[in-house]
Structure 1
Amino acid sequence: MSIHTHSPVLSAGRSRMRAARRGVPAWALGAIVALYMLTVLNRELWTQVHDALAASRGTPGFWLLSVTVCCRLVGNLVLTLALVTWPRIGKPILALLILVAAASAYYADAFGVHLNEEIIQSIFETQRAEALALVTFGSVGWMLAFGVLPAVLVLLVPVRFPPMWRSLGQRVAIVLGAALLMVVPSMLAGRNYVYFERNHRALYEVFNPYAALSGTFHYLQRDVFRPKRSMTPIGTDATLAPQTGDRKRVVVLVVGETARAENQSLQGYGRETNPEMKRAGAIYFSDTWSCGTATTISVPCMFSDMTRAKFDKPVAKSHWNALDVLQHAGVDVFWRDNDEGCKDVCARVPNDDLTNARVAGLCDAEGCFDDVLLTDLPARLARMRSPALLVLHLKGSHGPDYFQRYPAAFNVFGPGCDTGEVQTCTYAQAVASYDNTILYTDHILGRVVDTLKAVPDVDSAMMYLSDHGESLGEHDIYLHGADWDTAPSQQKHVPMLMWLSPGWVRDSAVRLDCMERRRTQPASQDNLFHTLLGFFDVRTTLYKPDLDLLAGCRA
């Protein structure tokens, strides 16, 4: 008779061994995820690769260049996944990367959005209401089908990891193989690949999940983890020139949002989108260009003394801007916001945020119409001492839900696009709703001018400048935030205009015939800093008359 003893420890060990043998090899899971990302979540990437390579078709070495580009992209992704697929943490990281890649793929495919550093910054710094505007039935359905479901499958599938030393050997082999895949073909392709890489860096902005990971890393490195700089005052020599007469001087600066020059009737657009400014006789600057293609760059840049060519956001963040210099000189400055914040520009001047105000007829759970900025405008201006600068930051034409940016009375051009999934509308519908936002902004500017006109004993001026433009489907691109050098003109060519009261024209000796000539000459957001100083006749070594829009037209 034989007696069999069963050890619980041995039984458990055998069970784990059997389960391990049944599991998918870790390298195989990584390969499956890589294949899924390359084929399903990078459709926009391969479309752009095809278009970029088409320009080189027929040239010597074309096929080697094509192979090199593909090897470089495949090797990059394989290398990334090989470095994260470790026991215990590998599956959660792969699942997270699938979710990130799926979200990136949706917005790249639907809107033509490139995940560059500025877009990543906008994602981190956007307000809740604006973020929720991008959450639509289409995006949720896509994420469930192509993000959540595959991620859950990755988490549920059993994975087999070999012993540590063999696993390390496999990983080293995969990493070396991926590195060779990236390096060797590019060396063989030589300068053909060097030229291609230099001219098509934007491909990496639609490469999922590389684009989101790279953009997030650089954003955190630049804006979050970089040591905080101490605030550096500039223009401390700024003083106001002696004022002649006792008339109060007031300037209202309206900072627009997502308005493009192409859809302004003052620019020559076919629809009458600027009737109020036409009636007011505003001076429209027809050749104006933005500093960036996203609010996070353009707003700090336009108030900085740095030009677009030299602009550095961390440096600008640690230096005074135009508002600080004006306040130091003695101007009464106030900022009023209905958009996504002032991006630290108004951090050291009095300000209020009306994005969550509760004004009947103007505000709801989604936010407020821009009329909220004008609810007590006469009283606000009356309380400010002279000279005064009031800045109004509009929500303007912020997309993609343009139809929510204006009251029903301004639904003039139609039929419009009544959904945040603007890519599902026809181009004509998207443009119609967008034009209604421009018409509503014109109404806001008209109300500002009427308010200033109502006080004839005050020398007053209004200036309007949009932060950046917008793509409405041209070249299958929507929204904004593209790299400035490659962005379409719709995202960079912006409206800028100025209205001067008769008293201001008289007392500042502005020659309107000269301004009529100046308005067609090149201008940009570089002009704002110095034009604001010129408005108030601020004397400082920072002031550059050649960048002051009015300097050459004063008698």
Structure 2
Amino acid sequence: MRNALPIRRARRAIPAWMLGALVAVYLLAILNRSLWGEVHQALAASQGIAGWWVLGITVCCRLVGNLVLTLALVTWPRIGKPLLAILVLVAAASAFYASTFGVRLNEEIIQSIFETQWTEARQLLTLGSVAWITAFGVLPALLILFVPVRFTPGWRGLGWRAATIAGAVILMTVPANLAGRNYVYFERNHRGMYEVFNPYAALSGTFHYLQHDVFRKKATMTPIGTDATLAPSAAMAARKRVVVLVVGETARAENQSLQGYGRETNPEMKREGAIYFSDAWSCGTATTVSVPCMFSNLTRAKFDKPLAKSRWNALDILQHAGVDVFWHDNDEGCKDMCARVPHDDLTDAKVPGLCDASGCVDEVLVHDLPARLAAMKSPALLVLHIRGSHGPAYYQRYPAAFNVFKPGCETAEVQTCTYEQTVASYDNTILYTDHILGEVVAALKATPDVDSVMMYLSDHGESLGENDIYLHGADWDTGPSQQKHIPMLMWLSPGWVRDSGVSLECMAQRRTQPASQDNLFHTLLGFFDTRTTVYQAGMDLLAGCRS
């Protein structure tokens, strides 16, 4: 009698292979709608290829085999059910953000997820997302955990597992080899489908992030530009020299009135006569790439995050040369770029009127700007890292006084708003950023005996629903221009123009020529007349316009 209950439970339990098969069907049929939509579009574009239907079968076999292999590798006694539950939860969350915002889970997005601060991350936890993930992730995961399962014991169980793994490998490789170069062509041109393949995308992105950034052996810090010195004209200038660099967040060129946009989103910079570079491009489509890249001398074509973080950047070189450098942050941190210079973080500050539970508006960076600039020694570089237009809660990025363009989208679930509402709230963030830049210029103009520069550029752009894509983080080669074409501008004080010999007529011509974040490293060195072998005058935005 004592053994009767376990026997009855064992009889009610389903075989482990059946649970794995049910989970596989659920993942493929329910949590991969974005994947199948992308595969359908890709195959439709390939119908001109002879035997394209064979190609379609091959692609499906590859994807199914990949998933079967993953499930076979995790479905073990004791740990199998918890691992399957976790995979379903991850796949459900990935499916929601992929189908809702068009997010692609590449390595950069995974890194952003791990490094995003809680105040930013919680804005993605909306009522809609929690309800969806609960229904399609939490409840199925609980069902997996509580359903009784029996595993085939001993060598017989290992034999079945080995056969399943072998079958999955055959399913992934044999049809692909039979399809020949047609499949090679398809795979090469549609790698992006794996970035919406659940749960493969999250697992692959996390693995590569851990491999490249977390567990990769930390390289010894390599100083570059150790020969850097300030030219006598800069080091012994009678007048104080100050540069304020404003690093923007998620601003795209398309919505700047200085770019030709219909709404007046840059009134203060227009009034101040800022030099706007209309053909400027980012290094990446995510902060984790663009911020390290813009301060590095590697350029976008040669950029490697671990390498960039193991070398001195522009801030290190300028500090070494004698510039007083300070990083003032209200966003997601400096991505190690300010690790060796003085810096602070105001994302959790408690400044009345400027900060609340959702964080601080960007005026927290400039409300004491005159005093901070006065305290810095000459020559000085102050970096302001603003929150800018960080989404999806655009409506939280500006005070009520800047709610100018209406009606806006008053929720982080921008997919529930009309395109016009989303754009209106986004445009208000651009207008507020323009005001912040105006505050910087006003503080610099208040000290006419100081030669000063204000430079602004965004880290990357943003998609606002065009082609059902939201936010940012797309693959550079295939991503929309809205995520890569960025605003970049500069304001020069009359004293700086006079003492540096900059021709404003020349700059008026330079502003329409191509520019990018690759120029920032050399432009910063050029601001302070830095003499070093790593400086390239051809990459300095002002070099060709100095007399």
Q: Which bracket does the TM-score occupy, shorter chain normalised? A: over 0.9
1:190 aligns with 2:180: yes
The 5-angstrom pairing of residues 252-331 of structure 1 reads: 252-331=244-323
| Separation (CA, whole Å) in 1 of partners of 2:246 and 2:43 | 44
1:135 is matched with which residue?
125
1:152 aligns with 2:142: yes
Contact 1:22 1:160 in 2 (8 A): no
Q: 1:224 aligns with which of 185, 189, 214?
A: 214
1:415-441 residue CA offsets vs partner (Å, 9 max, x unmatched): 100000011111111100000000000
Q: 1:513 aligns with which of 490, 505, 513?
A: 505
CA drift at 1:15: 3.3
1:248-299 residue CA offsets vs partner (Å, 9 max, x unmatched): 1100000000000000000000000000000000000000110011111100
1:5 is matched with which residue?
none
| Separation (CA, whole Å) in 1 of partners of 2:217 and 2:174 | 39
1:476-498 residue CA offsets vs partner (Å, 9 max, x unmatched): 10000111111100000000000
CA drift at 1:400: 0.2
| Separation (CA, whole Å) in 1 of partners of 2:276 and 2:5 | 78
1:378 aligns with 2:387: no
1:106-137 residue CA offsets vs partner (Å, 9 max, x unmatched): 00011000000000000000001001010000
Q: 2:17 aligns with which of 18, 24, 27?
A: 27
- AA aligned opposite 1:513: E
1:369 aligns with 2:361: yes
1:423 aligns with 2:415: yes
TM-score, reference length from structure 2: 0.99
2:55 is matched with which residue?
65
CA drift at 1:245: 4.4
1:6 is matched with which residue?
none
Does 235-244 or 134-143 show the bigger shift? 235-244
Q: 2:101 aligns with which of 92, 95, 111?
A: 111
1:22-51 residue CA offsets vs partner (Å, 9 max, x unmatched): 211110100000000001000000000001
Larger gyration radius, structure 1 or structure 2: 1
| Separation (CA, whole Å) in 1 of partners of 2:89 and 2:69 | 19
- AA aligned opposite 2:243: V
Contact 1:359 1:372 in 2 (8 A): yes
| Separation (CA, whole Å) in 1 of partners of 2:143 and 2:495 | 71
1:457 aligns with 2:449: yes
| Separation (CA, whole Å) in 2 of partners of 1:450 and 1:58 | 61
The 5-angstrom pairing of residues 404-423 of structure 1 reads: 404-423=396-415
Can you give the 5+ residue segments of structure 1 that lack an aligned partner in the other structure? 1-10
- AA aligned opposite 2:436: I
2:67 is matched with which residue?
77
| Separation (CA, whole Å) in 2 of partners of 1:116 and 1:285 | 30
Q: 2:37 aligns with which of 31, 47, 67?
A: 47
Can you give the 5+ residue segments of structure 2 that lack an aligned partner in the other structure? none
1:337 aligns with 2:329: yes
- AA aligned opposite 2:338: C
1:210 aligns with 2:197: no
2:415 match: secondary structure: helix
2:489 match: secondary structure: strand
CA drift at 1:168: 1.2
| Separation (CA, whole Å) in 1 of partners of 2:399 and 2:438 | 16
1:543 match: secondary structure: coil
1:296-337 residue CA offsets vs partner (Å, 9 max, x unmatched): 110010000110011111011111100000000000001100
1:163-206 residue CA offsets vs partner (Å, 9 max, x unmatched): 22221121112111111111111111111100000001110000
TM-score, reference length from structure 1: 0.97
Contact 1:337 1:393 in 2 (8 A): yes
1:252 match: secondary structure: strand
1:249 match: secondary structure: strand
1:3 is matched with which residue?
none
| Separation (CA, whole Å) in 1 of partners of 2:460 and 2:184 | 32
2:526 match: secondary structure: helix
Cα distance 1:120–1:519, how it changes in 2: closer, same or farther (>3 A)? Answer: same
CA drift at 1:14: 4.4
1:456 match: secondary structure: coil
% of aligned pairs identical? Answer: 78
- AA aligned opposite 2:151: F
Cα distance 1:245–1:217, how it changes in 2: closer, same or farther (>3 A)? Answer: closer
CA drift at 1:67: 0.4
Contact 1:250 1:388 in 2 (8 A): yes
When the two structures are aligned, how many residues end up with a matched partner?
545
1:441 is matched with which residue?
433
Contact 1:100 1:209 in 2 (8 A): yes
Q: 1:526 aligns with which of 506, 518, 529?
A: 518
Contact 1:254 1:462 in 2 (8 A): yes
Cα distance 1:46–1:302, how it changes in 2: closer, same or farther (>3 A)? Answer: same
| Separation (CA, whole Å) in 2 of partners of 1:179 and 1:455 | 70
| Separation (CA, whole Å) in 2 of partners of 1:471 and 1:215 | 21
Q: 1:401 aligns with which of 364, 368, 393?
A: 393
- RMSD over aligned CA atoms reads 0.9
| Separation (CA, whole Å) in 1 of partners of 2:94 and 2:212 | 22
1:165 match: secondary structure: helix
1:102 is matched with which residue?
92
Contact 1:333 1:388 in 2 (8 A): yes
- AA aligned opposite 1:110: T
| Separation (CA, whole Å) in 2 of partners of 1:59 and 1:529 | 47
